[in-house]
Structure 1
Amino acid sequence: MSSPTTTATRAEYCVVACAEVWRYAGESLASPMGIIPTIGARLAKLTFAPDLLLTDGEALLVGDVPAIGKRSDVVEGWLPYRQHLAMVATGRRHVMMGASQIDRHGNQNISCIGDWSRPKRQLLGVRGAPINTLNNPTSYWIPKHSTRVFVENVDMVCGVGYDRAAQVGMSAVRYHRIPEVISNLGVFDFATADRTMRLRSVHPGVTVEQVVEATGFPLVISGDIVPYTREPSAGELQLIRETLDPTGVRDREVPA
């Protein structure tokens, strides 16, 4: 594991890691949720994924790539809710959602903490998580990695994990895919024989021991050395700092 050579911040490593989930997306819709995933999707659009479709967060497809907090000046099309659902149902979208809890199989919870019949805390609700996970690629962004989020068992299944999908059978697994989970500590995937979470890389300044300690279940760790997350290139750093997020909003989500 060689030392990084750039001056990139932790937040900028996270941006690049999020951007990578859309590297081979082609002409599909990116649905990033959160500041860093949004910057990541826009970075992907400006670099290695020029065909990626972006929205204004409401009902318009945009043709430019504005900075965070700025409105688009170029409208390419209208994306009403019914058409958005059609894209979801046909797998033409890659969404990056958040997670209040996530387990080793990729089951995600954004609905409640505690027993669903009498929860300790009510959260967003199930929202569109089931249809997202069963119909199009769904990755996750978690800005504060801890044992409260990475849990042995989620209190309620909203996003469907690999074990739950397998229990249902072909109707669930046919289009089910969780490419990556990205946190402020590292990058994770499910490229294992039993489809349980694997630590794929750590961000510079983070140790494997720190990740293990902050995770509430055993992670799969392949080999003796876990690599660092890919470094941002000089061009990517310039785009992040000068074009996409000149005011440094990214550092509010992942402090330096």
Structure 2
Amino acid sequence: MTTSTARATRAEYCVIACAEAWRDNGEVLASPMGLIPSVGARLARRTFSPDLLLTDGEAMLIGPAGEPEGWLPYRQHLALATGGRRHVMMGASQIDRFGNQNISCIGDWSRPARQLLGVRGAPVNTLNHQVSYWVPRHSARVFVPKVDMISGVGYDSAAAAGPSATRYHRIPRVVSDLGVFDFATPDHSMRLVSLHPGVTLDEVRRATAFALRGVGEAAYTREPTLEELRLIREVIDPDGLRDREVRP
């Protein structure tokens, strides 16, 4: 089946949704964490966001084809991060209705039922620059009313901390294998923006442990263009690794 006739897979809709997180960002450092966010960032750089900066995860800036493009010393990396010129897409073991994220533990932190990664750089990331989230398996165990421990700072927590926490704080979107979400509501509670084609509202409701805003206005995630499909399938991810993260 050729690119021109093949229908987009669920994974490819997720790639498109992740890529859209960096639309109109200008010259910022895109830091995708995970396979599908990485494919999305590279797709955005090759198409509608050519000014994005991408790194090899160590000390180099890389170009659209993965070739070295420049040096990014750690001091400069930190300057971008602390000055609001970075947009990370992280994972989340839990995320709640105001965008608080947990990657540290499940249960009471003093005696957790499960120990996870720890907070890592999540607090600094969320307070200093844009942070979006990628959840490959949307479920009520991940989308919870209140996280067990705050790693990434949500809108309610940032507001409670005051201006020093809200200066650069922004969560543009959450992408899951079911849809796209944001916090563009009066109280900054999570809103359903779009469903991936083939997903129903009932599926999203069952997989979310709190009431979502915007369910009556939600659209469908946009279709990839033929050129975007070609880039995803033939250039950026020719081995189809995306389908291992989100199965067709």
Tell me the TM-score normalised to structure 1 length.
0.93
What stretches of structure 1 of length at least 5 have no aligned partner?
A: 67-73
C-alpha separation in 1, matches of 2:110 and 2:79? 32
Matched, 1:188 2:181: yes
Which residue does the alignment assign to 1:70? none
Matches within 5 A, 1:199-214: 199-214=192-207
1:69 alignment counterpart: none
Aligned to 2:231: 239
Structure 2 counterpart of 1:159: 152
Give 3-state SS (helix, strand or coil) of 1:37's partner: helix
State the alpha-carbon separation in 1 of the partners of residues 190 and 128 from structure 2: 20
Are 1:215 and 2:208 counterparts?
yes
Q: Any idea what the Cα deviations from partners look like across 1:1-54, whole Å, max 9, x if unmatched?
A: xxxx97100000000000001111111100000000000000000000111101
1:116: which partner in 2? 109
Cα offsets for 1:200-221 (capped at 9, x unmatched)? 1000110011101100111112
Residues of 2 paired with 1:188 and 1:6: CA distance? 27
State the shift of 1:228 in Å: 0.5
Q: Quote the residue 1:41 is aligned against.
A: 41
5+ long unaligned stretches in structure 2: none
Which residue is equivalent to 1:21? 21
- Residue correspondence of structure 1 range 13-92 to structure 2 within 5 A: 13-66=13-66, 74-92=67-85
| 1:19 counterpart SS class | helix
How many angstroms apart in 2 are the aligned matches of 1:118 and 1:175?
33
Of 79, 82, 86, which residue of structure 2 is paired with 1:93?
86
Contact 1:6 1:231 (8 Å CA) reproduced? no
Contact 1:14 1:184 in 2 (8 A): yes
- Assess if the C-alpha contact under 8 Å between 1:43 and 1:239 holds in 2: yes
Cα distance in structure 2, aligned partners of 1:124 and 1:82: 25
> Which amino acid in the other structure matches residue 194 of structure 2?
S
In the TM superposition, residue 87 of structure 1 has moved relative to its aligned partner by: 1.1
Give yes or no for the alignment of 1:255 onto 2:247: yes
Whole-angstrom CA distance in 1 between matches of 2:57 and 2:97: 30
Which amino acid in structure 2 is aligned with residue 238 of structure 1?
Answer: R
Describe the superposition over 1:190-247 as per-residue Cα deviations: whole angstroms up to 9, x where unpaired.
000100000010001100111011001111125x342110110111000000000111
More deviation, 201-210/76-85: 76-85
Q: 1:201 to 1:243 in 2, by over 3 A?
A: same
Give TM-score scaled by structure 2 length: 0.95
Q: For residues 202 and 217 of structure 2, what CA distance do their matches in structure 1 show?
A: 12
Aligned length: 244
Contact kept? 2:46, 2:64, Cα under 8 Å:
no
Q: Distance in 2 between matches of 1:14 and 1:201?
A: 11
Rounded Cα–Cα distance in structure 2 between residues aligned with 1:108 and 1:65:
32
Identity fraction in percent: 70
Are residues 1:177 and 2:143 paired?
A: no
Give per-residue Cα distances to partners, 1:54-81, cap 9 Å, x unaligned: 1112221112423xxxxxxx32222233
Letter in 1 for 2:145: E
State the partner residue of 2:139: 146
Question: What is the alpha-carbon distance in structure 2 between the residues aligned to residue 215 and residue 237 of structure 1?
Answer: 30
Equivalent-residue separation in structure 2 for 1:48 and 1:218 (angstroms): 33
1:102 CA drift (Å): 0.2
